[in-house]
Homo-oligomer: A and B are copies of this chain.
């Protein structure tokens, strides 16, 4: 990888997500050479990806060049690479661009969509874990409408105008809300030759409530908001198959849907090379101790979505969200310093600041540790927190102005099919980059 030798110990961080960037920033000037590896040359702000998918924001507004973050840090290197294997014996990382040895290794590779082994669903449905995938969803929504205007066959039209979101977590809920607003504000105007009232948005949840990691009050309010927007909420329904045309479920219910977006689960994006005892089989996450060290290793750490730090309060690890990742990144910087200095590391403690989800214009739900609220104020808080959390002054301004514009004009001008999805779907099976 052409990294110069250094007299300082080398810390290799794999992944420039919330955890990786938090750690990299804190390690600045800390008597170590740092190599940050990611398969993209940008950090992206996952919580707003659904707005890229629905044309409300441009991709560039929620992504930030990694090199810009670290360019004036001393003895820091970024490498654009896909890591394939870790050899903890020889302390070597293998990637598509070569190999690299480390003194300390931090795995922050995040999570990817979990189809629970159902290859048919994986092949036919959309996911939204990368910017490319978000842009694919955007293209597909619009391509379906462009196709719907071409046919007189009502059944075919309804099929093309049927959108199904599998999974009632924040991503599914936020996408459903955004699609419902797109229906009213954009699609109705843009496609006067279609009967847009026939557009159906289904939110399919296997459990008995949506947003089941939030308070019951928030679940109820989110559901109410979605119903106001005309979203069909199907609870206690488990999707068992999707052949590109028909969704089958564990009940007699079948849905003809041209677009299925799968947000029903994630699993660790695990590089090869770890022993069985280090991995949680079900979640594909790396089991780490309270210091973040991967089971059985002293110089290998994991943090963020990929790390499963089991505790009394979080028996199956922390929630796979931005907050635990950022806090782990910050904490690990201090622990690495302690480890390099030969002093005792400190256990990680997660401070739960709460969680929130937005459903649409003036509609959000917020759970603070001791307070749950919803509606306009919650929506305002949601916007403020997300704007504040974005990296970069330009991105903040761009997102803020787009939101203002979209709010005032009921519009989303990002409805551009820059890279058609349907035409080259054949490539998408071989690469998540298309």
Contact = CB atoms under 8 A, between A and B. Distances in A.
22 contacts: A1-B150, A2-B149, A2-B150, A2-B152, A41-B146, A41-B416, A42-B418, A58-B61, A59-B418, A60-B413, A60-B416, A63-B416, A63-B418, A65-B190, A67-B415, A68-B189, A68-B190, A68-B413, A71-B192, A79-B146, A394-B413, A395-B413
B419 A132 contact: yes
Contacts of A402: 394, 398
Interface in A1-42: 1-2, 4, 40-42
A89 interface: no
Contacts of A193: 2, 4, 77
Interface stretch (A225-233, A285-293, A426-434): A426-434
Interface residues of A, number: 61
A97 interface: yes
Contact of A71 (B60, B190, B419): B190
A279 B406 CA distance: 46
A191 B68 CA distance: 10
A405 interface: yes
Q: Which of A41, A77, A146 counts the most B-chain CB atoms under 10 A from its CB?
A: A41
A397 interface: yes
Nearest to A427: B427
Contacts of A416: 40-42, 59-60, 63, 65
B189 A71 contact: yes
Nearest to A417: B41
A72 B188 CA distance: 11
A434 B64 CA distance: 23
A420 B59 CA distance: 15
A40 B417 contact: yes
B80 A146 contact: yes
Nearest to A412: B65
Given A71-B190, A423-B433, A60 B63 contact: no
Most chain B CB within a 10 A radius of its CB, from A1, A4, A190: A190
Contacts of A64: 413
